[in-house]
Structure 1
């Protein structure tokens, strides 16, 4: 990691700490709860059990999406690739729609679905979407076939989700919260789950980063370097699916974070894919944490769905980037 990358990592770390402190004071009672924490058990509970896990959880979700975005863009050699490209988002939406529909059914069905929860359903749906993509693509050998299979699976599972919601209109209101993205209900247990997934996923992506470096020169060049592309590509897709599925399961669909984070890192630090995945994860965490704070503060005391805010800001940034490059 060069000096610019090291400075960027330290800056992102400092921003993360500062944003956690600000996030602890954003809420219906403002920073007053922070000042009264030592003397007021209610204020202590608000800060430590509601605001802090939400803020830290937003960072972890953004880090998972940033990591997945860097892996996806390197794997597909496409700067517009995002973490939801392999059908994970559509699979999660379909699974949540089915779970919500079943929860409105008989008591026996509602019992096991309720035990699994919407979080578990979203995670299984996301992984199921990726596995279906791999099945249609007949493995991971052909990047273009994998990309096309992901697009097809996304459309098909999205259409099935629409059929489920049409047959059970009572799930529409609950689906809206999932589709728009929401960090309001993240607790410390969810933070632990995401941290347990993030650390090994980041370590594996770092180890396999030389495959992404080789693929950036073309598949023929990567093979000439003696890299076992098939198993390493499968492992990278596993990292992509696991990181994306975990993030979607905890907060719903939050767009543009995984797409924008690597784009923001590249001009600031010219690095290989090893440091890039680490810096993209940190950038994604900072982006989503700042977006979550803004979503709470912009129209206080009401809140904006954080997924809407990231879509507006991320889409605006990419449009500006395209405009600047065409100029």
Structure 2
């Protein structure tokens, strides 16, 4: 118990430090004291604030970006936890299973106006992304399921195949667009970026990420039982089929909304849950909130690196997460292969 409280304290302090650094560091560095003064002033805790230019940089430009990165990183991490529990395999995550690709295809169809007018008028980008992600993960799951169990090999292969299919659909849609400005925007967005972050995007991302974390934490006991297998979980009173369907819908919803705000950012849901398990254990009551906070920390630092590594140029954050995630995935695949043999 003491260890869990210590982990929680370290994560909370790390979040505060990370938010402060994420806001202070950039093309124009800002003193941490000014960051604290602006936040305190905006929250009504203090009256004094720095000059208007500094205030705008901190509150209107950098703060929404840091908050959105925290929410996206946390949301993708908890969905990684859910998917790995669903298939009882640490290799599962939204990007690898094709959910992110499906969400991206759905959002691209809507963004570039390739949906029929009757449909597009009744949809929004988050809804289109959710529908694309849900359709993809349902297909992947149905292909991978054999009799009463899910084949991990089929799951990964189906995920890779659907990712390739949705990627080709997105590419075709993108290059068929007659608007060059929209084409450039979508190409950058497909690689993942928080450059368009603004306060208007925060509520949707906050609702799906925070509510998703709360739901998965509330389902900690059924999820713990699922780790033993579907049959033992069923005999322990877990409504296995309903839980699986719920996890698939939740994964598509959270991933779809987050993809619609920040683009396709991969491998966060793979790296973070695995790293957190090594420190906090496998119990979901601890694993879910710890993964949420750790994923947010990882994403803020990845975004900070993306906008500061190259002078006067910003990298898509999805490139950096892939550079971290692909070697980790290959190492994890190699470890499991060695263990299985």
Same fold (TM over 0.5): yes
Q: Comparing 210-219 with 25-34, which one deviates more in the overlay?
A: 25-34
1:136 deviation in Å? 6.7
1:173 deviation in Å? 2.8
- Which string of whole-angstrom CA distances, capped at 9 and with x for unpartnered residues, describes residues 77-120 of structure 1? 111101235532222222233235438x9xx96x9969966555
**Corresponding pairs, count:** 322
- Which string of whole-angstrom CA distances, capped at 9 and with x for unpartnered residues, describes residues 109-147 of structure 1? 6x9969966555434433443455567779x97533993
How far, CA to CA, are the matches of 1:114 and 1:45 in structure 2?
35
1:28 is matched with which residue? Answer: 27
Q: Comparing 5-14 with 158-167, which one deviates more in the overlay?
A: 158-167
1:126 is matched with which residue? Answer: 133
2:173 is matched with which residue? Answer: 164
2:292 pairs, out of 252, 277, 281, with 281
CA gap 1:100/1:292 in 2 versus in 1, 3 angstroms:
same
Calculate the aligned-residue CA RMSD, in Å: 3.5
- Which string of whole-angstrom CA distances, capped at 9 and with x for unpartnered residues, describes residues 47-83 of structure 1? 1011011011101100001100111111111111012
How far, CA to CA, are the matches of 2:318 and 2:53 in structure 1?
29
2:68 is matched with which residue? Answer: 57
CA contact (8 A) 2:20 2:32 kept: no
Q: Comparing 258-267 with 211-220, which one deviates more in the overlay?
A: 211-220
1:299 pairs, out of 289, 293, 310, with 310
Q: Which runs of 5+ in 2 are unaligned?
A: 39-48
How far, CA to CA, are the matches of 1:200 and 1:52 in structure 2?
22
Q: Which runs of 5+ in 1 are unaligned?
A: none
CA contact (8 A) 2:91 2:333 kept: no
- 1:233-244 mapped onto 2 (5 Å cutoff): 233-244=244-255
1:4 is matched with which residue? Answer: 3
How far, CA to CA, are the matches of 1:42 and 1:114 in structure 2?
39
What is the TM-score when the length of structure 2 is the normalising length? Answer: 0.81
Q: Comparing 220-229 with 56-65, which one deviates more in the overlay?
A: 220-229
1:267 is matched with which residue? Answer: 278
- Which string of whole-angstrom CA distances, capped at 9 and with x for unpartnered residues, describes residues 146-179 of structure 1? 9366555434333333433454475653332122
CA contact (8 A) 1:26 1:51 kept: no
What is the TM-score when the length of structure 1 is the normalising length? Answer: 0.84
1:253 deviation in Å? 0.9
Describe the SS at the equivalent of 2:24. coil
